[in-house]
Amino acid sequence: MVELQAPQLDTVFHALGDATRRRMLRDLADGERTVSQLAEPFSISLAAASKHIKVLEHAGLLRREIRGRTHVCRLDPGPLASAHEWLGIYERFWTDRLDVLERLLREEDARTPETPEGDKP
């Protein structure tokens, strides 16, 4: 896997920071789309869609190919994999914390005597 340098990672997270661009990437995960198809779910012009696509291109998240007069986009998942790897550091952090919490709760449960069903207030 190619590891992204900090400025590249910043560019990827900047691109992912916009809901329109995240939706475009989600649509591209199902297969290639034209610029018009990517713009269709939104109330935006083709020029506005093109600006979003350029941000995604700059981040390396999509590739655009010109076929005649049609611009076709496809997902390039490499930078997403690197961002996921970076986020994995924090996943491990939270998993470790949740494991400690689970252990403490189990210890607490083990120390608390169980009361019969009829004795509950």
Q: How many domains does the chain have?
A: 1
In-domain check, residue 68: yes
- 73: in domain: yes
pLDDT for residue 1:
47
The domain of 36 spans 1-110
User: Bridge partners of 66?
Assistant: 71
pLDDT value at position 59?
Answer: 95
| pLDDT at site 63 | 96
State how far the Cα of 39 lies from the Cα of 24, in Å rounded to an integer. 8
Q: What is the CATH number of the domain that holds 82?
A: 1.10.10.10
The reported pTM is 0.70
Residue tagged 């400690």 (tokens): 100
Mean pLDDT by 10 residues, the chain (121 residues): 66 95 96 95 93 96 95 93 86 83 88 67 56
Which of 59, 61, 67 minimizes the C-alpha distance to 7?
59
